[in-house]
Amino acid sequence: MNTLTTRALVMLLSVLILVMIGSQIYYRINDRHKTEEAVLCNINENLSFKGVVIRDESVVNFSGNGVFEYLYSDGSKVADGDSLAKVYPSEQDLINKRKADKYNKIADILERAQNPGTAQNVQPETLNSKINAEYKKLISASLQGNITAFAESEEDFFLQSCIYNIITRQSQNYADEIAALRSKAESCAAASRDIGEVEATASGYFVSYVDGYEKKLDVSKVDELNQSDIESIIKGENKTDNGSSAIGKMFEDYSCKIIGIIPNDKRVAEGNTVRLALGSDEKIYNVTVESVKPAADEEHSIIIMNCNRLDPDIVSSRVLSLELVFDNYKGIKVPRDAIRFKNGEKGVYVILGNDTTFKKIEVIYEGSDFVVSKNVSDETHLLLYDRILLEAVSSEDESANDKAS
């Protein structure tokens, strides 16, 4: 092949490449199609509101002075005569007592770890897996701010680590450490003394805080509360001063009533069982709607619910951020104007390179100007991040609007 022929082929190839690049640029510049990217959306029809918890409560009083160490967690069931709290003359006495308890607890864990029966037939690999699992629990509890779960995982993590040191011969025993801890505990205990106890005067459930509404709210009169009363409680207004002698409260029954103001909604009717969530918490409570009555504001209603659950979340506060939980829809958002019908099937056109392709959709929710399609992996269906064409492909296209009309 002579030089002239070679140059001619090179020039021809260059022209072809320039034409291809130019056509691509032209296509990009002159592509006037309106499109929208297929993205995930999460639709829920929950009702958020502030709820007021109402029980028949009695205030627990202590006439003396001192610092209290509560012996029960909030919401615990106690019997008549049970000691609810110990009283110490000063905060330092209580601090010393808690230090003594902590030293003794660590010593107890070390004694368990070095006990031959504890470490017998335990493999290091198995223990290592347990240690890693407890470490992950610690991180999770820390991120969630769950103090109780963190304390439990911390104790288990420490125990498993100490056992691991014994079976891998990194430590022979913990005799010296235990002796030192017991000595510290004795010193702290000697520097602490209690001056009395607060006893329960009846059986029931104990909570270690008061808020000034114990004497103002009555379960039998809950239906007398109007919108103004509820809003006043939510704002923390018009409380009764329980005095400095109040150290907590008791109630006989674990059930309670919850009252709140919600937007008018036909799904909330007297006698219905509804699902209730505390804010963003995943825990769901099944409650019964006792009554729904008009509020002063015509666009809202006053709802009263019966709740037969008792846990720290319910007793932690008088006013709770709540949600009535209804249906939840998660899928791909599709503009209603983009919907087309092909061979009797509902779908949309998407742009793939220079081509347009019809893809089916499976509608699970319908909004005013959009629908939510089920998110699937089938290539014949609309997929996440597809470019949805918002205009007709041809005059023969039948849109969802056309079909509706």
Q: Which residues of 107-123 are buried (b: 16+ CB within 10 A; e: fewer)?
A: bebbbebbeeeebeeee
**Residue 224: exposed, middle, or buried by beta-carbon count in 10 A (0-12, 13-18, 19+)?**
exposed
pLDDT band at 26 (very low <50, low <70, confident <90, very high): very low
Q: In the chain, how long is the greatest CA-to-CA distance?
A: 115
Q: Is the pLDDT assigned to residue 21 strictly greater than 50?
A: yes
Evaluate whether 247 touches 62 at the Cβ level (below 8 Å).
yes
- CA-nearest of 62, 103, 66 to 84 is 62
CA distance 161 to 147: 21
More confident residue, 1 or 16: 16
Tens of pLDDT, residue by residue over 200-231, are 999 999 999 999 999 999 999 999 999 999 99
33 CB-near residues (< 8 Å, 6+ apart)? 351, 389, 390, 391
Q: Where are the alpha helices (DSSP H) in 50-123?
A: 91-114, 116-119
Q: Is the pLDDT assigned to residue 19 strictly greater than 60?
A: no
Question: Tokens 């430590």 map to which residue?
Answer: 171
CA distance 160 to 135: 11
Tens of pLDDT, residue by residue over 70-88, are 999 999 999 999 999 999 9
Percent of the chain with pLDDT over 90: 56
Q: What is the mean pLDDT of residues 255-282?
A: 88
- DSSP label at 381? B
- DSSP label at 75? T
pLDDT at 20: 65
- DSSP label at 169? T
In this structure, the number of other CB atoms found within 10 A of the CB of residue 401 comes to 10
- DSSP label at 72? S
Q: What is the mean pLDDT of residues 294-320?
A: 90
What stretches of 10-156 adopt beta strand conformation (E)? 35-37, 40-44, 47-54, 57-61, 67-70, 76-78, 83-88
Q: What is the mean pLDDT of residues 138-165?
A: 85
In this structure, the number of other CB atoms found within 10 A of the CB of residue 18 comes to 10
CA distance 227 to 334: 40
- CA-nearest of 286, 278, 279 to 309 is 286
220 CB-near residues (< 8 Å, 6+ apart)? 56
More confident residue, 57 or 151: 57
Tens of pLDDT, residue by residue over 108-124, are 999 988 888 776 777 88
- CA-nearest of 58, 69, 62 to 246 is 62
Tens of pLDDT, residue by residue over 161-204, are 888 888 888 888 899 999 999 999 999 999 999 999 999 999 99
CA distance 94 to 370: 62
- CA-nearest of 279, 268, 280 to 305 is 268
Q: Is the pLDDT assigned to residue 381 strictly greater than 80?
A: yes
**Distances from the Cα of 22 to the Cαs of 8, 10, 205, in angstroms?**
21, 18, 80
368 CB-near residues (< 8 Å, 6+ apart)? 336
More confident residue, 355 or 375: 375
Q: SS3 of 141, please?
A: helix
Evaluate whether 59 touches 214 at the Cβ level (below 8 Å).
yes
Average pLDDT, the chain: 87
CA distance 54 to 361: 48
Q: Is the pLDDT assigned to residue 264 strictly greater than 90?
A: yes
pLDDT at 353: 79
